[in-house]
């Protein structure tokens, strides 16, 4: 890595986090971006052509590329709130389950819409939908499931309301599935199979595309409105610019991802988790076991490493020691107890799992834990 800034590369055993650069792009995506950078193009035309190809690849009616999944939330909600070139109504509402409220609420609220919370009850949802909100925004992933209705029930209740004779449904349903690759079937399950109006993905997570990209898949009416609300048009999405490089890079990444053997990929993740767990057996003061699903609710395991009091380490102390070490290693703390770290195989390159294991064994066997815990 050519690095004139002195910023050290990271072995990422945490997740496809934005703060760590998302994911690593395959050679075909890098090549596509480089080739795109060498030419001027009619950008709206390229948007259209890439969208057509992505829709076909993912078994959807229509598709468009956005500048990340959060931008995709703003654009899809805007598409439900109002037509492009019209003022958004001051009383627009977006229905969300209270248990799914999260930091991406702001992406929906940029439109001026108010979020209306409901509990995991058919009756509460039906009462909220009778008010004809702009849409329902539902978040996918096992970590969001406990306090929300299944998406099948949400779509069914929304479709009970009579739509206008022409135009979108009475209450559109938008699914945020930003990190729900794998499984690849997420690309068509929520829309083509279950009937949601749109589903949103991050381009820079499991799809392995440019980090500054996102993807909206679904019904043509909502995708067409997303495009009209987005750059280069002078609408709410003008600042959410997608360059020709991101368009071509994401297309190449999706194409590459769909060509992979997903079953073999998931099996390789489990092999890494097994190596971590076996390698930590016998290390004093820790208990390592398989956790499932991942922190984002994806269908693969990770190694959850619990620090006993006899280890001498605090969780924060060990996380910092791994980050400060050589190589620099990032580990996860989301969705695990306060005395544990999580090791995610999804972002591990060949051989890096052994470097992670070596660093953990070295730190845990060093006797430096008490000092590190005090320092932190």
User: Could you tell me which CATH class the domain 40-259 is placed in?
Assistant: alpha beta
Please state, in angstroms and rounded to a whole number, the distance separating the CA atoms of residues 294 and 283: 24
pLDDT in tens, 33-77: 999 999 999 999 999 999 999 999 999 999 999 999 999 999 999
The distance in angstroms from the start CA to the end CA of the chain is: 30
Q: Within a 10 A sphere around the Cβ of 208, how many other Cβ atoms? A: 24
User: Could you tell me which CATH class the domain 10-17+262-375 is placed in?
Assistant: alpha beta
Please state, in angstroms and rounded to a whole number, the distance separating the CA atoms of residues 176 and 218: 12
* CATH code 3.40.640.10 region(s) in the chain: 40-259
At 166 the pLDDT is: 57
* CATH code 3.90.1150.180 region(s) in the chain: 10-17+262-375
At 185 the pLDDT is: 97
* Model confidence pTM above 0.75: yes
Average pLDDT along the chain = 94
Own/partner pairs for 153-157, CB < 8 Å, 24+ apart?
A: 153/122, 153/125, 154/125, 155/194, 155/195, 155/196, 157/122, 157/125, 157/126, 157/129
Q: Rounded mean pLDDT of 281-295? A: 93
CB 238 within 8 A of CB 244: no
Backbone angles phi, psi at 261, to 5 degrees: -85, 100
Please state, in angstroms and rounded to a whole number, the distance separating the CA atoms of residues 185 and 183: 5
Q: Within a 10 A sphere around the Cβ of 355, how many other Cβ atoms? A: 16
At 376 the pLDDT is: 42
pLDDT band at 167 (very low <50, low <70, confident <90, very high): low
């Amino acid at each position: 890595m050519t690095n004139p800034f002195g910023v050290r590369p990271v072995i990422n055993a945490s997740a496809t986090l934005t703060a760590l650069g998302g994911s690593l792009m395959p050679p075909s995506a890098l090549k596509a971006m480089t080739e795109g950078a060498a030419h001027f193009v009619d950008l709206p035309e390229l948007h259209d052509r890439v969208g057509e190809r992505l829709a076909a690849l993912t078994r959807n009616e229509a598709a468009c590329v956005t500048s990340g999944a959060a931008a995709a939330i703003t654009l899809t909600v805007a598409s439900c709130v109002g037509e492009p070139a019209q003022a958004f109504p001051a009383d627009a509402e977006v229905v969300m389950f209270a248990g799914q409220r999260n930091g991406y609420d702001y992406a929906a609220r940029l439109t001026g819409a108010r979020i209306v919370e409901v509990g995991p009850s058919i009756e509460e949802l039906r009462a909220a939908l009778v008010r004809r909100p702009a849409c329902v925004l539902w978040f996918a992933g096992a970590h969001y499931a406990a306090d929300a209705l299944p998406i099948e029930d949400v779509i069914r209740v929304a479709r009970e309301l009579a739509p206008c004779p022409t135009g979108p449904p009475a209450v559109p349903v938008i699914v945020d599935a930003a990190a729900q690759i794998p499984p690849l079937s997420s690309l068509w399950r929520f829309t083509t199979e279950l009937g949601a109006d749109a589903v949103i993905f991050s381009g820079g997570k499991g799809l392995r595309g440019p980090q500054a990209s996102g993807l909206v898949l679904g019904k043509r009416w909502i995708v067409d409105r997303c495009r009209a609300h987005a750059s280069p048009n002078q609408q709410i999405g003008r600042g959410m610019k997608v360059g020709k490089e991101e368009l071509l890079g994401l297309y190449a990444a999706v194409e590459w991802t769909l060509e992979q053997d997903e079953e073999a990929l998931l099996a390789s993740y489990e092999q890494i988790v097994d190596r971590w767990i076996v390698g930590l057996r016998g290390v004093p003061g820790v208990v390592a076991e398989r956790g499932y699903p991942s922190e984002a609710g994806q269908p693969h395991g990770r190694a959850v490493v619990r620090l006993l009091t006899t280890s001498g380490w605090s969780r924060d102390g060990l996380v910092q020691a791994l980050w400060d070490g050589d190589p620099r290693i990032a580990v996860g703390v989301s969705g695990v107890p306060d005395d544990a770290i999580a090791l995610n195989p999804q972002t591990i390159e060949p051989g890096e799992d052994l470097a992670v294991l070596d660093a953990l064994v070295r730190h845990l066997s060093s006797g430096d834990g008490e000092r590190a815990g005090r320092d932190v």
